[in-house]
């Protein structure tokens, strides 16, 4: 969701009227968000302002008349000042950028969730949509929050206390204290409250570490086999890695939910049901469809026994199921055949390892003959 706030904006364009136009467009239909504008009519002036001020959002033109080759005359030349300024910006700080330009094709390759491209000839709503998309990620709000938390703790709390402490008693540990306080203010609960999210529910993204550590191999890591694209989760305990015992890595298959037999049965029952004419859709086959759907619901709720663990999908992982019965013992020397996708975070990593241990270490016993035993109990029953 987009959180309302006050945003400091820099607009860099050699045409002052374009900067004024951006300000007019964002002055309405942006909910409770407000924008405080600064303007630079040259890229050098823009860089100077960026160096001496904090901005939440920057609008850039691609081309500067006085220094750039005209893109109309040199369509293949890419060294326009706007792109150069973005490169400098990325190397120094995080600020999202909207290219507002008459030459959008020159920077289309730079588009991302944090870099948008809008044609100057586009309707005003396209510019508002680009800004809304950036703010909806919550990242500008988080960056603003981190800076304010650091400032407030150091100047409003720590400084006053340190005045009472002798100089030779203050060491670099004070920076560690500040970092711990900042970490506390960035707890999941604090950030959820900041962004207006429900603190009693988790987003699937909270279950994973992404991007993952590319250098190590850890329990709960999910790998993709390069040969066939199948997914596998590491189950080898962390202590085996740390103590150098793990010559082989134990993996469990991770299958897309849509490939699970229960999901396929649901699809089959649905196809059979909806292929029938309405008057032939009986209570029996309607119940069969409901049962198949219910089985998948229980799978997603992790109510189908300890063999399976459902993992909710995200932008880097589809809805999938860990199957503790389909295992693979992989020599560590073959690790280059796999690429890491993401890692489960705590406590979900520990939960999966505990579930696997419980499932794999279970003791199976033969079933007793239920019908005869129940018949005896039923006959002896007295109301």
pLDDT tens column, 231-255: 999 998 765 545 556 678 899 999 9
The least confident of 136-145, 291-300, 301-310, 357-366 is 357-366
* Average model confidence (pLDDT) across the chain: 87
- Looking at mean pLDDT, say which of 116-130, 175-189, 245-259, 274-288 comes out highest: 116-130
Which is nearest to 54 in space by CA: 95, 17, 105, 112? Answer: 95
| Spatial separation of the C-alpha atoms in residues 256 and 341, rounded to whole Å | 14
| Spatial separation of the C-alpha atoms in residues 158 and 156, rounded to whole Å | 6
Rounded to two decimals, the pTM is 0.73
The least confident of 11-15, 37-41, 125-129, 369-373 is 369-373
CB-CB neighbours of 42 under 10 Å: 16
Is residue 53 pLDDT above 70, yes or no? yes
DSSP assignment of 289-310:
HHHHHHHHHHHHTT-S-TTEEE
| Four-residue CA torsion sign, 335, 337, 341, 347 | negative
- How much is the pLDDT for 244? 56
- How much is the pLDDT for 233? 96
Q: How far, in Å, are 8, 14, 109, 116 from residue 57 at the CA level?
A: 7, 18, 20, 11
pLDDT tens column, 54-84: 999 999 998 876 555 555 555 555 557 888 8
Q: How far, in Å, are 160, 311, 380 from residue 43 at the CA level?
A: 41, 47, 92
């Amino acid at each position: 969701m987009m959180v309302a706030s006050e945003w400091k904006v820099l607009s860099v364009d050699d045409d002052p009227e374009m900067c004024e136009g951006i300000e007019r467009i964002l002055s309405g239909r942006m909910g409770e968000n407000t924008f405080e504008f600064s303007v630079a009519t040259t890229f050098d002036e823009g860089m100077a302002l960026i160096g001496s001020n904090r901005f939440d959002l920057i609008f850039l033109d691609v081309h500067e008349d006085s220094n750039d080759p005209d893109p109309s005359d040199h369509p293949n030349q890419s060294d326009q000042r706007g792109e150069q300024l973005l490169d400098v910006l990325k190397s120094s700080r995080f600020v999202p950028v909207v290219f507002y330009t008459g030459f959008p094709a020159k920077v289309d390759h730079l588009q991302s969730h944090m870099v948008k491209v809008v044609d100057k000839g586009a309707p005003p709503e396209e510019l508002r949509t680009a800004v809304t998309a950036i703010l909806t990620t919550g990242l500008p709000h988080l960056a603003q929050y981190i800076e304010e938390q650091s400032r407030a703790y150091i100047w409003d709390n720590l400084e006053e206390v340190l005045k009472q402490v002798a100089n030779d008693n203050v060491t670099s540990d004070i920076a560690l204290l500040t970092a711990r306080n900042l970490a506390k203010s960035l707890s999941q609960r604090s950030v959820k409250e900041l962004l207006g999210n429900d603190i009693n529910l988790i987003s699937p993204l909270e279950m994973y570490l992404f991007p993952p550590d590319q250098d190590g191999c850890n329990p709960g890591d999910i790998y993709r086999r390069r040969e066939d694209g199948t997914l596998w989760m590491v189950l080898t305990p962390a202590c085996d890695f740390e103590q150098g015992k793990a010559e082989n890595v134990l993996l469990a298959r991770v299958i897309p939910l849509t490939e699970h037999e229960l999901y396929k049965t649901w699809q089959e029952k649905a196809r059979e049901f909806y292929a029938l004419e309405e008057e032939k859709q009986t209570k029996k086959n309607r119940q069969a469809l409901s049962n198949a759907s219910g089985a998948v619901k229980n799978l997603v709720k992790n109510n189908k026994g300890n063999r399976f663990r459902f993992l909710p999908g995200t932008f880097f992982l589809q809805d999938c199921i860990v199957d503790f019965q389909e295992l693979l013992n992989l020599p560590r020397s073959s690790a280059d055949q796999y690429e890491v996708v993401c890692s489960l975070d705590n406590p979900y990593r520990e939960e999966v390892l505990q579930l696997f241990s419980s499932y794999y270490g279970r003791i199976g016993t033969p079933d007793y003959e239920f019908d005869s035993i129940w018949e005896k109990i039923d006959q002896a029953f007295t109301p």
